[in-house]
Chains A and B, each alone.
Chain A
Amino acid sequence: MSSQRTQTGYNFAYLDEQTKRMIRRALLKAVAIPGYQVPFGSREMPLPYGWGTGGIQVTASILGRDDVLKVIDQGSDDTTNAVNIRRFFERTAGVATTERTEDATIIQTRHRIPEKPLSEDQIMVYQVPLPEPMGRLEPQEVVTRKLHALADYGLMHVKLYEDIARYGHIASTYDYPVLVNGRYLMAPSPIPKFDNPKLHMSPALQLFGAGREKRVYAIPPYTRVESLDFEDHPFSVQRWDDPCALCGATDSFLDEVVLDDAGGRMFVCSDSDYCKTRQAAGHTGSQSPVPATQEEAA
């Protein structure tokens, strides 16, 4: 990669080439040991910790001039933080950006995996707040590191069992723990468990960056990713009673939108690109804007 400077006076994609190389080395190790958290020399970025600095550093280190970048937050390209990160790369790297999942070569995400299936020439970059799946059960990293080394995940199984004993089912709905390649317990980042099946045998390379915690990890393409469960309490994902009110989809993750203060609400796809594509293809829902004559309650 050349170190030609953009007009902003910073190196291509902000980070200097030495730093990018350091991060790529860590990523290679992460790919070689699926699900293992690799410490790396996370840099202080001009965006706040906890706002995607890990994902931004991973994206910056793998980004090339021909890449097409898509950035989503909560599944949407339009949320302010996604807009801000996309602007950051437009300014510092000048790469093409897109909102269409199938056109992107790199997709940086916070909290969702796109509904459209991914392909082999795509890379997912996840922003990770807390990379340690057992962190809430055992805050000391010295201890959790040992548990990973011994593949001793009893702690997590007991937690899930206690959920069932107490509530009748596992009470984790997002950042639901997974076992990668039958070896490492991994936090999939706060994606809803609805998205967990998409991690499994994905044709896309999946990279995870935690900037504040200074860790990267990865799921190489076509890797087994199992959501932890029990034989008598198999893993299941969320389902909605209503379809998307704009595109009628019944297979997507839906956000609840409050319409008034009298309990009125509607459900719409969290993946804005998926919803848009379906609407363009003629799918409609109960609140589709097509008639655009009466309903002006909102």
Chain B
Amino acid sequence: MYVAVKGGENAILNSHELLATARRGDAGIPEITPLQIREQLRLAVARVMSEGSLYDEDLAALALKQAAGDQIEAIFLLRAYRTTLPRFGYSVPVDTSRMALQRRISAAFKDLPGGQVLGPTYDYTQRLLDFSLVEMQPAPIPPLAAEPLPDSMPRVTDLLGHEGLMEAELPAHGDPAPADLSREPLSFPADRATRLQNLARGDEGFLLAMGYSTQRGYANSHPFAGEIRMGDVALEIIPEELGFAVCIGEITLTECQMINQFAGSRTVPPQFTRGYGLAFGEAERKAMAMALVDRSLRASELGEEMKSPAQQQEFVLSHSDNVEASGFVQHLKLPHYVDFQSELELLRKMRAKRAKVGAGETALEETV
């Protein structure tokens, strides 16, 4: 006999208990702390902060612990928390030329003022599993440079700018206040500031694939990594009652300026154009991919032929957000039996009709 499905509430509560047990794993092994995650899984923390649009290493580490290491779930947790926070104001635009650098490289010039600084990078590690890490190791002692890095280093794009070879990066006409995508809906066509905001929150994997596609002929890009820099910048606000800037802390950023060819147009001489990427923490792959996609999304503005996915802003911007994408893809787990029943009924009707028509005249085409 049919028994109506009941007890959803109990099942949900029990699944929460099972989840907590699974998260903890073997109880004989010490529990991990958010502090350990913050200090020793800093790249995971950085991604959660970037795509969660909230710079808070401790909360991101907590989210990673709660999500058992699932980055998108952790990003979702951080976003859902962020949305409840009040806005106190806007910071002064950060000045990345005054960044306290940990890393700065340019692929466009052999040497440049300030020099190339490798910093902590996986780039030239040989990817051999290091079995010594299985055991606890004494803390390594970092090497010291012979002299400190200068306080401020000019950006490569600024060096080219002096010659007029690089397009000027000027605020849009009238310097309008940027949209806040977490408060206002995205609308098309979106201006560059809005697009960059969307990409900054966008999924690293998605941007990586999109950026990669522009290198393989889906869009015409000839990018050079003009400069990649990573380090700490001061965050300043101007409180109304004071009227001058006050530093409220420092954040770590990775910035990428891609340099792309541009053949020029009727009004603009041939020059280099830019793609821009910025991410919280150490996130070079994300910043580079973002810069590639930013540049390809400028196709219509620069009068380039538009034929590839990475150039279509509705395509890119509507599908870059992993919290949205993850939710909608996974909503297929929800019951759809009413719709499915409707489709069943239709399919039976169509098959009945087809059977009636007979094998001789199969005028009806195959169903979709």
Contacts and interface: CB of A to CB of B under 8 A. Distances in A.
Interface of A: 10, 16, 39-46, 48-51, 53, 73-76, 78-84, 87, 110-112, 129, 139-142, 166-169, 171, 173-175, 190-194, 212, 214-215, 238, 240, 245-246, 253-257, 259, 266, 268, 270, 272, 287, 289, 292, 295-298
Given A44-B182, A49-B328, A173 B345 contact: yes
A78 B11 CA distance: 11
B338 A270 contact: yes
B107 interface: no
Contacts of A79: 5, 8, 334-335
Contacts of A245: 2
B1 to A, nearest CB: 5
A50 B12 contact: no
B266 interface: no
A50 B328 CA distance: 4
A139 B2 contact: no
A140 B316 CA distance: 12
A167 B367 contact: yes
Interface residues of B, number: 53
B84 interface: yes
B338 A174 contact: yes
A112 B339 CA distance: 10
A83 B12 contact: yes
B342 A192 contact: yes
A238 B328 contact: no
Please report whether the interface of chain A is mostly helix, strand, loop or mixed according to DSSP.
loop
B6 A298 contact: no
A87 B9 CA distance: 8
A253 B338 contact: yes
B364 A168 contact: yes
A90 B260 CA distance: 55
Contact of B337 (A45, A83, A255, A296): A255
Given A50-B327, A167-B364, A80 B8 contact: yes
Nearest to B53: A44
Interface in B308-358: 314, 323-324, 326-331, 334-339, 341-346, 349-350, 353
B310 to A, nearest CB: 16
B334 A81 contact: yes
